[in-house]
Amino acid sequence: MAACETLFSQYQGVPPAVSVDTSSKKMEEKVKLLEKENAQLEEAKKEAANHRAQRKRS
């Protein structure tokens, strides 16, 4: 039992594992945001390519 108590006292200063979960949630949100931005950039590239192609034809 004494070993458990010393272990517990060692880990009292350590933040709970939940904080890690929230940071990974934030990372997931960042990833989603970046994926959205990336999709918008790809769309803009396609539009620019189409625009250039139309200008070449005329």
Nearest residue to 10 via CA among 19, 2, 18, 20: 2
- Assess if residue 48 is contained within a domain: yes
Question: Would you say residue 32 lies in a domain?
Answer: yes
Residue 47 lies in a domain: yes
> Model confidence over 20-58: pLDDT tens digits?
556 788 888 999 999 999 999 999 999 999 998 888 887
Give the residue numbers spanning the domain of 29.
24-58
**12 lies in a domain?**
no
Q: Say if pTM beats, i.e. exceeds, 0.85.
A: no
Which one-letter DSSP state was computed for residue 29? H
Number of domains the chain contains: 1
Q: What is the pLDDT of residues 10-22, one digit of tens each?
A: 666 666 665 555 6
Q: What would the two tokens of residue 28 be?
A: 């997931």
28: in domain = yes
